[in-house]
Amino acid sequence: MLGDDDHAPFVVNGEIITEEQAWEGSSIPESFIVYNQNTGQGANAELQAHGILRGEGIIEAPDRFGIGNYFDVSIPSWEPSNSVGDSGYSIWWNERTVGNGQSFTVNTFYGLAVPPTIEDPTLANEAIIGQAATAMLAQANMAPQNVLQLLQ
């Protein structure tokens, strides 16, 4: 699900995933995209999310990654067997022994992708902050000049 789209398509290695699928080990893609079909198709969708599973900034890549129906893919013993409907994904790291007082760290990244309507991606943060600020102002029923006064 992404926004109001329960059947948001996932794109892996440039291909839309229509059947449940799992990747393991080195076959796990570096990244994936999911988009809201109600805001456009593929790279032209206004609402997109991007996930990063391997590569720069990742401490330890997952051992398994799966895309499928959101309820099914959340089950640890899940195996792909259906077409993707109400979409979701899961990531797994293999079990390991962690001694008393020890720890380990894993991570991935997932969040809004740069909207295609932003011509200069280096300005994406400003655009997202601006959109968030506008929404917050509307909720608080505040005019922009009042916020500027608060910040000064």
* Residue numbers of the chain with a pLDDT score lower than 70: 1, 114-152
Q: Give the sign of the dihedral formed by CA 106, CA 96, CA 24, CA 11.
A: negative
Q: Which tens digits make up the pLDDT trace of 81-99?
A: 999 988 999 999 999 999 9
Does the predicted TM-score (pTM) go above 0.75? no
Q: Where exactly are the structural domains of the chain?
A: 10-117, 118-152
pLDDT of residue 28: 97
pLDDT for 128 equals: 43
* Of 87, 86, 104, nearest in space to 95 by CA: 104
Q: How far apart are CA 47 and CA 101, in angstroms?
A: 42
What is the average pLDDT value for the chain, to the nearest integer? Answer: 78
Task: Identify whether the C-beta of residue 115 lies closer than 8 Å to the C-beta of residue 43.
Answer: no
Closest CA to 34 of 9, 58, 64: 9
